[in-house]
Amino acid sequence: MTLSPEHESFRRTVREFAEAEIAPHVAAWDRDHHFPVDAVRAMGKLGLFGITAPEEYGGADGDFTSLCVAIEELGRIDQSIGITLEAGVGLGINPILTFGTDEQKERWLPDLVAGQSLAAFGLTEPGSGSDAGSIRTKAVLDESADEWVVNGSKQFITNSGSEMTSLVTVAARTGSREDGRAEVSAIVVPADTPGFVVEPAYDKLGWHISDTHPLSFDDARVPADHLLGERGRGYAQFLSTLDDGRIAIAALAVGCIQACLDLCVEYAGERTTVGDVPIGTKQGVAFPIADLAVMAEAGRALTYQAAALKDGGAGHAELKRAASIAKLYTSEAAVSATRVATQVFGGYGFMEEYPVARFYRDAKILEIGEGTSEVQRILIARSLGLPAE
């Protein structure tokens, strides 16, 4: 898939930034589980959080394809940094931009779009992930105080507890619908709300640089005007947010595959074996690396085709299917790519001093976050008319 000269020029800008400002530090940040606020703010200064936001909120009014290019290029250097941008825009800014009132947008967007603060998106709970309809967190409207009172807990929430996190959009039950199912709404809870507690960060397999916390809400009160979008439309809002997010996760996965490819090509040309020849002369090494190139090209084509559909205003069903296909293929290919890369590096691939070990640990979550591979297969099967559940 060929992108425009403008997209390729933007790719070079982000690549230069990532190689100069991120690459030299990632091994240490990863080892220390350090969330680099200054680097994230520098990404903000470069305009990365505002790529798709309207100019009136400080954004560049750019397209979704450009956002995917930025996520891919950051992800090629480090997956945690890529997900910080992906979640910051896709899960933090987008729900407010898409569903917020003018007043809410004016209040919250400028700092988020400038990348000087971060917003998170709290859907998953200890008892509900893929089954998002069964969330337990509740928000009750206290009409005398004109406030929502939020109680419950959220789990695995990205960008939710960093020192630059300013708010979390929370999916909560706000009542029951006529058909007996839960009425779900989205409520914005600012980070300094009494009763909103950010629990200690998780000790994760990968994404060590990314900020992920459990959250709890104990009579957390926010003004009634913190309802985001229409009351009772929260579930539909979250689902549409995730459709876009899946394309962005696919871009992150493409970055991972490309990193594996680049690292392997270089290493296979340098490392020697019997007869003092590079290991890349051996088909047992060269062929799996050739497969990485196929994964990168195929993954990129699916991802940017889905992004082009989004930019072109494609219909909901077409976009949803393209997003699921791109996410499913690229995330599974990324996991395979990191396994190949680790093998090409031999024992060094198992050592943290080489980046392939970090990519190996980081890739697995791509098959889980923003809808597992099984959920993507359900959605794709349904798009074929199958009654999959």
Between residues 129 and 161, which has the closer beta carbon with respect to ligand FAD? 129
Q: The tokens 């989205």 sit on which residue?
A: 186
Residue 106 designated active-site: no
Question: Minimal distance in Å, beta carbon 181 to ligand FAD?
Answer: 17
Of these residues, 73, 332, 367, 370, which one is catalytic? 370
Please give the Cα distance from 251 to 73 (Å, whole number). 9
- State the Cα angle at 386 between 381 and 389, rounded to 5°: 70
Between residues 66 and 165, which has the closer beta carbon with respect to ligand FAD? 165
Give the residues lining the site for ligand FAD (CB under 6 A). Answer: 87, 91, 120-124, 129-130, 156-158, 204, 207, 212, 365, 368-372, 374-375, 378
Please give the Cα distance from 65 to 52 (Å, whole number). 9
Question: Minimal distance in Å, beta carbon 160 to ligand FAD?
Answer: 7
When CB distances to ligand FAD are compared, the closest residue is 129
Are residues 294 and 300 in contact, defined by beta-carbon separation less than 8 angstroms? Answer: no
Residue 327's identity, in one-letter code, is: K
Intra-chain end-to-end CA distance of the chain, in Å? 33
Question: Minimal distance in Å, beta carbon 279 to ligand FAD?
Answer: 34
Please give the Cα distance from 379 to 316 (Å, whole number). 13
Tokens linked to 13: 């800008």
Please give the Cα distance from 250 to 314 (Å, whole number). 18
Please give the Cα distance from 140 to 131 (Å, whole number). 22
Which of these, 261, 279, 262, lies nearest to 270 by C-alpha position?
Answer: 279
Between residues 215 and 344, which has the closer beta carbon with respect to ligand FAD? 215
Question: Minimal distance in Å, beta carbon 325 to ligand FAD?
Answer: 17
Which of these, 60, 25, 53, 51, lies nearest to 39 by C-alpha position?
Answer: 25
Question: Minimal distance in Å, beta carbon 161 to ligand FAD?
Answer: 11
The three-class DSSP label of residue 135 is coil
Between residues 65 and 158, which has the closer beta carbon with respect to ligand FAD? 158
- The DSSP code for 366 is G
Residue 131's identity, in one-letter code, is: D
Please give the Cα distance from 6 to 128 (Å, whole number). 42
Between residues 108 and 121, which has the closer beta carbon with respect to ligand FAD? 121
Question: Minimal distance in Å, beta carbon 29 to ligand FAD?
Answer: 16
Residues designated as active site: 370
